[in-house]
A and B are shown apart, each in its own frame.
Chain A
């Protein structure tokens, strides 16, 4: 009757290259693999004395954070600097919006400063889509987390971490544990894992933290850790926000830890070579036991290192895709 629009057309240019990076949903396996391969090539660079490449020289990247963040913001900043871009960090949560300026007005102001790329974090799902489609179609937009919708660079750094430790995705069983309902990370991970061909993706949590019909995203749903972690190769923990206790979603942190916290005892349910990941910042004793977070099977710090490389990869790819589009605008109309 009235068909929904293809939500992914917006992030690709007329040649099928990335021009915005808004979500891992709908992107091809080839494109996701290209992001991982490009990131791989940047990883070794981080260990060198001169860490810069000139891919974004002369370009201006604006980190627009409408929500507070430490590690995502700093890794985006480092990534942009290693690509030789000029970087402006704006913490909007404490400036314009509290003065009543709309998101649209804020962005139009920044656009007038001739920025080339916006890295956006916002509390509303769809904010990055809104910015890319309505406000700044000529500026490359990288989604650094929008509401509960997507956090695609986090998901891709997780994929890179998995690939570097496990090689092929095909045989892997992956479990995502905790607050799935509020997690943009989980959603982006699920799309990426499914596209990259992981044999099974599971989500584990209490029903109050599992969104409705999550199985429609192609995952198996578990409410207990023992059966959920059985035969699993990769365990991806999620962060639990304290306010979940106030909205009648959970009785207490300690009950959550007892049931879903990653402990040595529960890790034994998984495969003996299973690895544990967490997007950070971690709540020790709520989501994860310290001995595991700091132990040999934790990949948490690798994730941070890989985050810079993945962000360099998507920033350089999107800038190149956007440049192609700007040079051939007529092809877009076809």
Chain B
């Protein structure tokens, strides 16, 4: 279908574009910006006056919970949530049940996503078999079956020898390795180790739980030459180490979950389990450091780290609850706060949500270039809305932002030229 999106502020950082113009879509692809291609006849026109038109968002970490944990979320529900959040591509970690360590599971996830047709879901493969940290997973076969990157999630690879072999093998096939860096022993706790954890008597997770592992990974990345990415870093020092490594010419990048840019450990006061996330909300200094790293290009992407849960998962004393927030539907609105707070210009922010994560993955997404799939997000930057459990599309409404008025709301999402969400 031929679609014309008129009068919107079209922002596409992949081609340094920021102007009020029209966007033309035909046969599922972008066919023109500004002027219609010859012979173009629009079958549908979307009026985007006063709205922002940008590439569909690329989310580097969203748990879809399927297969295995469909009481928490499902591919159908999470991709519907993604569409409502303007996200057209999402990467899902290998921590399903069964784990993504065989091509069949990777295929299953993609088939289900294709059936629901609401977002592109790219599975990450397990770096080691069963995420047990002992044997190499069949990375080449998994990559051939659509795995976009390889990660051991937060499961430990205790042997540095095994980790080095994993990286060497991934480097052999030029595969991207994604670290969710965490030292398993140091991370035995439930919140950031600081004065708030001390006062609340909650077991603390020191900064070293992340930085020690980031340091080990960086050294082995340097030695093996693998392409590597650090997902959801939480500490200022991690950002600094990664920035230094980039300056030395290593092929490394990093992302941060949006809540780590907005919240800090003091939010845990009162024991609200919605603030129980791993990595934990860190200190206000860490938050400031992560925000600076975003500006200084130490952190290239912002993700949702979407982790939907059923209600009971959060209904227990703090440490006994399951960590994670449901975040697909609020990723854009929460990220826009960084613009409201004058940290980033709007095009800079959109880059962190579109072309930069796409570049990390090495995929043709997060762009409105002619000839590319028409994955488009249209949002009203002035609209105010309040997420509630009743309106949440995800299987989980576990978010501390439920009931909080947010600015900026997605009005339309197009996936390959199909309207998959309309407010």
Q: Provide the bound-state CA to CA distance between A147 and B315, in Å.
A: 17
Q: How far is the CB of A190 from chain B (nearest CB, A)?
A: 9
B199 & A187 in contact (Cβ 8 Å cutoff):
yes
B267 & A2 in contact (Cβ 8 Å cutoff):
yes
Q: Provide the bound-state CA to CA distance between A5 and B193, in Å.
A: 19
In the complex, which of the residues A25, A122, A127 contacts B199, with contact meaning CB atoms closer than 8 Å? Answer: A25
Count chain A CB atoms within 10 A of each CB in B197, B262, B318 and give the residue with the most: B318
A150 interface residue (CB < 8 Å to B): yes
Count chain A CB atoms within 10 A of each CB in B200, B204, B312 and give the residue with the most: B200
Given contacts A103-B316, A104-B315, A147-B319, contact A5 B272 (CB under 8 A): yes
Q: Provide the bound-state CA to CA distance between A4 and B274, in Å.
A: 12
What range describes how many residues of A lie at the interface? 20 to 34
Chain A neighbourhood of B312, CB < 8 A: 102, 104
B251-282: which have CB < 8 Å to A?
A: 262-263, 266-273
Chain B neighbourhood of A149, CB < 8 A: 200-202
In the complex, which of the residues A130, A213, A216 contacts B318, with contact meaning CB atoms closer than 8 Å? Answer: A130
A125 & B198 in contact (Cβ 8 Å cutoff):
no
A146 interface residue (CB < 8 Å to B): yes
B295 interface residue (CB < 8 Å to A): no
B320 interface residue (CB < 8 Å to A): yes
In the complex, which of the residues B202, B203, B269, B337 contacts A7, with contact meaning CB atoms closer than 8 Å? Answer: B269
A129 interface residue (CB < 8 Å to B): yes
A interface footprint on B193-235 (CB within 8 Å = 1, 0 otherwise): 1110111111110100000000000000000000000000000
A206 interface residue (CB < 8 Å to B): no
A148 & B202 in contact (Cβ 8 Å cutoff):
yes
B interface footprint on A120-138 (CB within 8 Å = 1, 0 otherwise): 0010111101100010000
A187 & B201 in contact (Cβ 8 Å cutoff):
yes
In the complex, which of the residues B262, B273, B319, B320 contacts A2, with contact meaning CB atoms closer than 8 Å? Answer: B262
Chain B neighbourhood of A216, CB < 8 A: 195, 198-199
Q: Provide the bound-state CA to CA distance between A5 and B403, in Å.
A: 14
Chain B neighbourhood of A124, CB < 8 A: 316-320
Count chain A CB atoms within 10 A of each CB in B193, B195, B400 and give the residue with the most: B195
Q: How far is the CB of A42 from chain B (nearest CB, A)?
A: 29
A7 & B204 in contact (Cβ 8 Å cutoff):
no
A150 & B201 in contact (Cβ 8 Å cutoff):
yes
B194 & A7 in contact (Cβ 8 Å cutoff):
no
B139-177: which have CB < 8 Å to A?
A: none
A291 interface residue (CB < 8 Å to B): no
A214 interface residue (CB < 8 Å to B): yes
B275-318: which have CB < 8 Å to A?
A: 312, 315-318
Chain A neighbourhood of B273, CB < 8 A: 130
B315 & A102 in contact (Cβ 8 Å cutoff):
yes
Q: How far is the CB of B262 from chain A (nearest CB, A)?
A: 6
Chain B neighbourhood of A146, CB < 8 A: 201, 317
Look across to chain A and name the residue whose beta carbon is closest to the beta carbon of B263.
A2
Chain A neighbourhood of B203, CB < 8 A: 148
B317 & A1 in contact (Cβ 8 Å cutoff):
no
A126 & B269 in contact (Cβ 8 Å cutoff):
no
Q: Provide the bound-state CA to CA distance between A10 and B270, in Å.
A: 9
B271 & A217 in contact (Cβ 8 Å cutoff):
no
B270 & A129 in contact (Cβ 8 Å cutoff):
yes
B198 & A102 in contact (Cβ 8 Å cutoff):
no
Chain A neighbourhood of B267, CB < 8 A: 2, 4
B204 & A211 in contact (Cβ 8 Å cutoff):
yes
In the complex, which of the residues A5, A134, A184, A211 contacts B198, with contact meaning CB atoms closer than 8 Å? Answer: A211
A44 interface residue (CB < 8 Å to B): no
In the complex, which of the residues B202, B262, B341 contacts A126, with contact meaning CB atoms closer than 8 Å? Answer: B202
Look across to chain A and name the residue whose beta carbon is closest to the beta carbon of B267.
A4
A243 interface residue (CB < 8 Å to B): no
Q: How far is the CB of B29 from chain A (nearest CB, A)?
A: 40
Q: How far is the CB of B273 from chain A (nearest CB, A)?
A: 8
Q: Provide the bound-state CA to CA distance between A126 and B190, in Å.
A: 12
B interface footprint on A179-195 (CB within 8 Å = 1, 0 otherwise): 00000100100000000
A1 & B263 in contact (Cβ 8 Å cutoff):
yes
B319 & A217 in contact (Cβ 8 Å cutoff):
no
Look across to chain B and name the residue whose beta carbon is closest to the beta carbon of A7.
B270
Count chain A CB atoms within 10 A of each CB in B199, B269, B312, B400 and give the residue with the most: B199
Look across to chain A and name the residue whose beta carbon is closest to the beta carbon of B192.
A212
A265 interface residue (CB < 8 Å to B): no
In the complex, which of the residues B202, B270, B317 contacts A6, with contact meaning CB atoms closer than 8 Å? Answer: B270
B317 & A122 in contact (Cβ 8 Å cutoff):
yes
A134-179: which have CB < 8 Å to B?
A: 134, 146-150
Q: How far is the CB of B152 from chain A (nearest CB, A)?
A: 26
Given contacts A2-B400, A147-B319, contact A217 B198 (CB under 8 A): yes
Chain B neighbourhood of A2, CB < 8 A: 262-263, 267, 400, 404
In the complex, which of the residues A103, A134, A148, A212 contacts B201, with contact meaning CB atoms closer than 8 Å? Answer: A148
Q: How far is the CB of B275 from chain A (nearest CB, A)?
A: 9
Chain A neighbourhood of B270, CB < 8 A: 4-7, 10, 129
A213 & B316 in contact (Cβ 8 Å cutoff):
no
Q: How far is the CB of A253 from chain B (nearest CB, A)?
A: 23
Chain A neighbourhood of B198, CB < 8 A: 211-214, 216-217
A62-108: which have CB < 8 Å to B?
A: 102-104
Chain A neighbourhood of B271, CB < 8 A: 7, 125-126, 129-130
Given contacts A5-B272, A6-B270, A213-B195, contact A126 B317 (CB under 8 A): yes
Chain A neighbourhood of B262, CB < 8 A: 1-2
In the complex, which of the residues A1, A10, A104, A214 contacts B316, with contact meaning CB atoms closer than 8 Å? Answer: A104
Q: How far is the CB of B17 from chain A (nearest CB, A)?
A: 31
A125 & B202 in contact (Cβ 8 Å cutoff):
yes
Look across to chain B and name the residue whose beta carbon is closest to the beta carbon of A180.
B198
9 closest A-B pairs by beta carbon, nearest first, are A148-B201, A149-B201, A126-B271, A124-B317, A216-B195, A213-B195, A127-B317, A211-B198, A4-B269
Q: Which residues of B contact A (CB under 8 A)?
A: 193-195, 197-204, 206, 262-263, 266-273, 312, 315-320, 337, 341, 400, 404
Q: Which residues of A contact B (CB under 8 A)?
A: 1-2, 4-7, 10, 25, 102-104, 122, 124-127, 129-130, 134, 146-150, 184, 187, 211-214, 216-217
28 pairs, A vs B, C-beta closer than 8 Å: A1-B262, A1-B263, A2-B267, A4-B267, A4-B268, A4-B270, A5-B269, A5-B270, A122-B317, A124-B317, A124-B318, A124-B320, A126-B202, A126-B271, A126-B319, A129-B271, A130-B273, A146-B201, A147-B201, A147-B202, A147-B317, A187-B199, A211-B198, A212-B193, A212-B195, A212-B198, A212-B206, A217-B195
In addition to A124-B318, A126-B202, A212-B194, 12 A-B residue pairs with Cβ atoms within 8 Å of each other are A2-B263, A4-B266, A4-B268, A4-B269, A102-B312, A104-B316, A130-B315, A130-B317, A150-B201, A187-B201, A212-B206, A213-B195
